[in-house]
Amino acid sequence: MSDEVVAPPAPPTPKKSGLPAWVWAIVAVALCFPCIAILAAILFPVFAQARLAAKRTNSLSNIKDIGTASIMYAADNDDRFQPAERWQDSISEQVSKTSFTDPMVEAKSDLGYGMNTAASTAKVEWIDDPNQTVLFFTSSMPGRSASGGPETLRYTQRYAIICFVDGSARVLKDDSSIHPNWTIKQPSE
């Protein structure tokens, strides 16, 4: 017997069975795409709703700024609101130009906010219910210094924005039970 050490035989290499790796890659991709599509179908409407809510909030902020500037104008002018036909010019120094633009409408649109015609040159003391009387609103009338009444109130995707004489602002849904006041009674002199 010789003193030579003999190495044990190598284990047999297992035979590869099953599908090649590239087939498994195709199966993985084929399963991932539908999952991504389902997630996208769920998330896109959520993102659209979030964007609309952000625009509504921005519009609410803009109209509140306009209402606050108008109240400041009245305080400086014998408690009278500015004339409706040039309300933007009257308060333009107190409000940034972007506040006159309604983010709820398309960029090329000429629609924006309007002033309640009944509030034009009205004295603050004539208003019985300032937290329900409309001062500014989203208007369906185009152009600068739009004005009007309830017939010109514009709903964008079922929502309208209103600023009241007391400076508060609200988002109204088209099926809202809130019925704001559009009239201001001047005392007989």
CA 46 – CA 56 distance, rounded (Å): 15
Asked if residue 163 has pLDDT above 90, the reply is yes
pLDDT of residue 176: 76
pTM, to two decimals: 0.76
Closest to 112 (Cα-Cα) out of 58, 167, 51, 68: 58
- Single-letter amino acid code for the residue at 179: H
Closest to 146 (Cα-Cα) out of 111, 104, 96: 111
Asked if residue 10 has pLDDT above 90, the reply is no
pLDDT of residue 164: 95
10 Å CB burial of residue 153 (0-12, 13-18, 19+) is buried
Asked if residue 182 has pLDDT above 80, the reply is yes
The mean per-residue pLDDT over the stretch 172-177 comes to 83
Per-residue model confidence as pLDDT tens digits over 137-161 = 999 888 778 888 889 898 888 889 9
In what side-by-side order are the strands of the sheet with 134-138?
146-148, 113-116, 134-138, 159-164, 169-173
117 DSSP assignment? G
Per-residue model confidence as pLDDT tens digits over 18-52 = 778 888 888 888 888 888 989 888 988 888 889 88
pLDDT of residue 57: 92
Tell me which H or E stretch contains 70: helix 21-76
CA 34 – CA 43 distance, rounded (Å): 14
CA 110 – CA 127 distance, rounded (Å): 30
CB 115 within 8 Å of CB 135: yes
pLDDT of residue 8: 81
